[in-house]
Structure 1
Amino acid sequence: MIQLASDNYAAMHPEVLEALAAVGSGPAPAYGADPTTASLAQAVRRTFGEGAQAYPVLTGTGANVVALTAMLPRWGAVIATEHAHLHTDENGAPERVSGIKVLPVPAPGARLTPAAIERYAADLGDVHRAQPLAVSLTQATELGTVYTPAQVRAVTEAAHAAGMAVHMDGARLANAAAALGLSLRELTTDCGVDVLSFGGTKNGAALAEAVIVLDPRAVTGVEMVRKASMQLASKQRYTAAQLLALLDGGAGADPLWRRNASHANAMARRLRQGCSAVAGVNPTQPTEANVVFATVPRTLAAALREEAVFYDWGLGETRDRVEVRWMCSWDTRAEDVDAFARRVGALA
């Protein structure tokens, strides 16, 4: 059965497993005082810039909560799109854990624009309003679109001009960078992003994310927040080893993060090409990263689930149609994609 539900379903990459095995024997200092975490810190500086500071955490939600909590005062709020994972799929974690109000804005293509900042900027200083002191954008977005460097920079410049800090949810930053042929730094540090939630789990790791502070002036007490939020692992070397393998490790000219993301993106393009020509399959979003969105007859979706795992995403054009999400991963196989596309054609 082909898995198209989420890149979270994918296995750990063999090179990540090898990295874990390499640090798996013998004792090492706990809570990040180990050589592997120190090596990760060096890799992060090489990747994102000399001022970058890495704080490994265990989950993507944890990364977002730790980052935003360290960025905002108790009365602070964060502007995000109506599609943002921290708004729709984290069970209110920013609000529940840290009292951070999320201010959602409509966003075609799930991309924030400077207009979203202008919408709330007038609330600054108003004692009756949650203070919009941060902006969060997602790269790649929840709809599989990507921000170009110019689009990221437009948001960061508008936010900074209004006195707001900028957070990036980079759960799929690797996919965006691979799609654009850019480095991770070119989409973050060089564009004025202040704090990054860097994703590893969706790209070949397991239980490995990181808060990466690109501008130390944007945060306060990250170390304390990480511990208080239950995101500081005692055996942190295992989390750090996974991230280090993605950033620095492996055979080949490209780092593992790029190879994994490039493959996932390529499989999504292959899937779209194979299915979009089928009558009744109507793509609804550009396939810029590693996901295909399309509306299909509900009967077709039900039949496909006998041999594939995927999510319904929204309503279709009519009651007998549904929007589905087909997501590819680093371990999605071309032969499985082709077989699925043929099955879509046969059933349609």
Structure 2
Amino acid sequence: MQLPPAPQSSFASDNVAGAHPLVIEAITQANRGHFPAYGADPITVRTQRAFRELFDHDVTTHFVYGGTGANVFALATMLQPAEAIVCAAQSHINVDETGSPERILGAKLIDIPTVDAKLRPSDLEFVRSMIGNQHGVQPAVVAITQVTELGTVYSVEEIRQLSDAAHALGMYMYLDGARIANATASLGGTRDALRSFTRDAGIDVMTFGCTKAGGVFGEAVVFFNPEFARRSLFIRKLVTQLHSKMRFISAQYEAMLTDDLFITLGGQANSAAQKLFDKTRSISSLQLHTPPQANSMFPIIGVENRSVLQQWAHFYDWDVAQDQVRWMTAWDVTDEAIDQFVAGVEAVLADGRSA
């Protein structure tokens, strides 16, 4: 079988893309001169102010090393001993963090089986009987991911209803926003859209991703709840997330927030996924269930064809038992790369063999 040249862009993950030039320029500027350490530098101070303007709220923002550390840090501020986290079974904290929440926080994860990686108010009904029972952990935090691991996006109303149910039980809401740029672009592409499913929807603490959106490294943890914000300054060091040269993280965010660059880049990634879907949906032997809601697709491809395609242009298996893979687009994926990738898929599947 003769395959076309592999695309220059990868469809394996948004983590494999480079950083946006404006982010690199911001880091370069931050490298000129000496500045106070541990977040006392003027870049970090400016960027924290920019986050308050972004949310139009007196939020506390800390910059940390990466996604798993951000999750652990944020949840550590929200939990007391013998308390537990309710999350979707597919969530990153449950399956992709090597047990960090359990090991480092000593907190039990109550993972809820879901079809679409979304939690709903009805999923919290069973924890009602746990509250006050001294023989069991106390459910304290509902943790959601936006965009979810299955590429689905919570609507504003879905988050509001879940937050209302959690708060009615005395629980708090945590949002893992590793792909917050994609979610914001998907739900309207404005600052008001971002505020509608975070600040206005009852989120207490959230992460605000940078790396997947076009940054180099680092994440931000944003506190709406002042009680957790007060604890955060000391817990950040406790869980090894205090960076001495913090300006190199905050500078990236200053670039990302300027002119809402993060929303633009999230929209570009989402648009690329939609184009990929549109160009592959007519391949009869490729099973595509639903259009992408953000920047990922989960087609069904049989093992033989999958192996050929992955050797040609790597992408990840997702659910091997279902022959499901993941295709993901980054902020810098070009139309040319999409066409090249589609040409390869067509070459392998064009004979109509079972996908």
Per the normalisation by structure 2, the TM-score is 0.93
| Counterpart residue number, 2:226 | 216
Contact 1:274 1:342 in 2 (8 A): no
Task: Answer yes or no: is the 8 Å Cα contact 1:53–1:212 preserved in 2.
Answer: yes
1:49-81 per-residue CA deviation (whole Å, 9 max, x = no partner) reads: 322110100110011100101001021111000
Which residue does the alignment assign to 1:26?
A: 33
TM-superposed CA distance for 1:286, in Å, is 4.1
Q: For each residue in 1:266-325, what CA deviation from the matched residue of structure 2 results, as whole angstroms up to 9, or x when unmatched?
A: 1101111111211221124541000010101212211112331210001355xxxx1110
**2:24 aligns to what SS in structure 1?**
helix
Would you say the 8 A contact 2:60–2:229 is kept in 1? no
Q: 1:315 is matched with which residue: 312, 315, 320?
A: 320
Q: Quote the Cα distance in structure 1 between the aligned partners of 2:18 and 2:128.
A: 43
2: CA distance between counterparts of 1:172 and 1:246? Answer: 13
Counterpart position of 1:194: 204
Q: What are the residue-to-residue correspondences of 1:169-180 with 2, within 5 Å?
A: 169-180=176-187
The sequence identity of aligned pairs, in percent, is: 39
Cα distance, 1:255 vs structure 2: 1.4
Relative to the length of structure 1, the TM-score reads 0.95
2:49 is the alignment partner of 1:42: yes
RMSD: 1.3
> Is residue 302 of structure 2 the alignment partner of residue 297 of structure 1?
yes
1:152 correspondence with 2:159: yes
CA distance in 2, matches of 1:115, 1:28: 50
1:5 matched to 2:25? no
AA aligned to 1:74 is: P
- Runs of 4+ with deviation above 6 angstroms: none
In 2 relative to 1, CA 91–218 (structure 1 residues): closer, same or farther, beyond 3 Å?
A: same
Quick check: 2:274–2:291 contact (8 Å CA) kept in 1? no
Is 1:246–2:219 an aligned residue pair? no
Counterparts of 2:347 and 2:291 in 1: how far apart (Å)? 24
- Provide the rounded CA distance (Å) in 2 between the counterparts of 1:261 and 1:342: 25
8 Å contact 1:67–1:196 — kept in the other structure? yes
What SS class does the counterpart of residue 98 from structure 2 fall into?
Answer: coil
Report Cα offsets for 1:121-167 as digits up to 9, x if no partner: 22011111111011001001100010111001011010001000100
Unaligned 5+ segments in structure 1 are 249-253
Counterparts of 1:334 and 1:113, CA distance in 2: 37
Structure 1 distance, partners of 2:289, 2:298, is: 6
Q: Is the 8 A contact 1:144 1:285 kept in 2?
A: no
- Which of 207, 232, 241 is 1:231 aligned to? 241
Aligned to 1:206: 216
Evaluate the alpha carbon distance shift between residue 102 and residue 70 of structure 1 in structure 2; reply closer, same or farther with a 3 A threshold: same
